Amino acid sequence: MTHQSVLRPFKKRSPIAVLMVVLGGFMTTGARAEAESTSDLKPSEIRGTSSKKPVSVLQNRFFLKHLRPELGLIGGSLLNEAYTDTKSFGVRLGLFFSEWMGAEVQYSRTSVADSADRRALNGMKFWKIPAANDATAGNEVVTVDPEVNPVHQMIDASFIAAPFYGKLNLMNKLIVYSDLYLSAGISQVGTDQGDKTAFSYGAGQRFYLYDAWSVRLDFRTRSYTEQRSGQETRKNMVSFDLGASYFFL
C-alpha cells in the first residue's frame, strides 16, 4: 500500500467536519475537568479507574438532623385574604425522630391592614334605601364595608415527613443541599370571631447553609369554619413563610 492510498480517505473529509471533531474533543475534556474540580466527591473515589462503571448511590445525606432540636424564626403573609393585607411573624421549635420523620410546633402573630380593595369600597357612599313609611327617607348616607374575619394569631402542631433529599450544583461553583418535605397537623387560629380549630397541611423546602444553619420556604393551608352572613362557611387560609433555623448539638 502506497502513501497516496493511505492519505486518500482523509482528503475526502470536509474541513468543517474536522473542525467539529477537534472542538468536540476540547469541550469534552474541559467539561470533564470542570466537573471533577467542582464535585463534592472525586469521581475516582466512586468509579475507580473505570469511567464507565455505574454508580447506584452517589452519596448519602450530608447534613444530619436526627435528634437535633431545631429553633427557628419565621416571617410571611396570608395569600388569599380578600380584604386585608396580613403579615405574620413568629418562632418555630422542632425535632426529628429520624432523618425522615419529625414534629414541630410554631407560634405566629399577625399584623393586619386594610387592602386597597377594602379602602376603595369604604370610600364609596350611597343614599340608604328607606323602608316603607320611613320619615328619614333619602337623608341617610351609608358606606360599603365587606364582611371580614381578620386573623390575629396562629398556633400549629405538625408532623413532618422529609423523604426527598437532594443537591443542586450552582453554576459549578457551589453545591446546595436541600430537603423537600410535607407537613400535616392541627392549628388554633385566633380571629375576630374567636379561636378556630383548623386542620393544617402543607409542603416546604429546606436549604442547608452550614452544619447547623438552614433556610426554609413553607406553604401551608389551614382549613376551618367561620360565620359568613350568619352561616357556617368553610375557609381554606393559605400562608407563605420564609424562615431561618438552627440545629443544636
At residue 138, the pLDDT reads: 60
Contacts of 5 (CB under 8 A, 6+ apart): none
Task: Say which residue the cell 473542525 belongs to.
Answer: 19
Q: SS in 3 state form for the chain?
A: CCHHHHHHHHHCCCHHHHHHHHHHHHHHHHHHHHHHHHCCCCHHHHHCCCCCCCCCCCCCCCCCCECCCEEEEEEEEECCCCCEEEEEEEEEEEEECCCCEEEEEEEEEEEEEECHHHHHHHCCEEECCCCCCCCCCCCCEEECCCCCCCEEEEEEEEEEEEEEEEEEEECCCEEEEEEEEEEEEEEEEEECCEEEEEEEEEEEEEEECCCCEEEEEEEEEEEEEEEECCEEEEEEEEEEEEEEEEECC
The percentage of the chain sitting over the pLDDT mark of 90, rounded to a whole number, equals 54
pLDDT score of 72 more than 90: yes
pLDDT: which is higher, 121 or 205: 205
pLDDT of residue 56: 55
* pLDDT higher than 50, residue 70: yes
Contact 195, 212 (CB under 8 A): no
Q: Answer whether residue 221 shows pLDDT above 60.
A: yes
DSSP-assigned beta bridge partners for residue 92: 72, 106
Q: How confident is the model at residue 142 (pLDDT cuts 50, 70, 90)?
A: confident
What is the four-CA torsion angle of 96, 98, 100, 104, rounded to 10 degrees? -20
Highest mean pLDDT among 8-12, 187-191, 225-229: 187-191
Per-residue model confidence (pLDDT) at position 198: 98
CA dihedral sign of residues 96, 102, 103, 107: positive
Q: Which of 101, 116, 77, 92 is nearest to 219 (CA)?
A: 77
Distances (CA, A) of 77 to 29, 44, 174, 222: 49, 48, 30, 13
Tell me: the pLDDT tens digits for 18-34? 455 544 554 444 444 44
pLDDT at 36 over 60: no
Average pLDDT, whole number, for the chain? Answer: 82
Cell of 163: 423523604
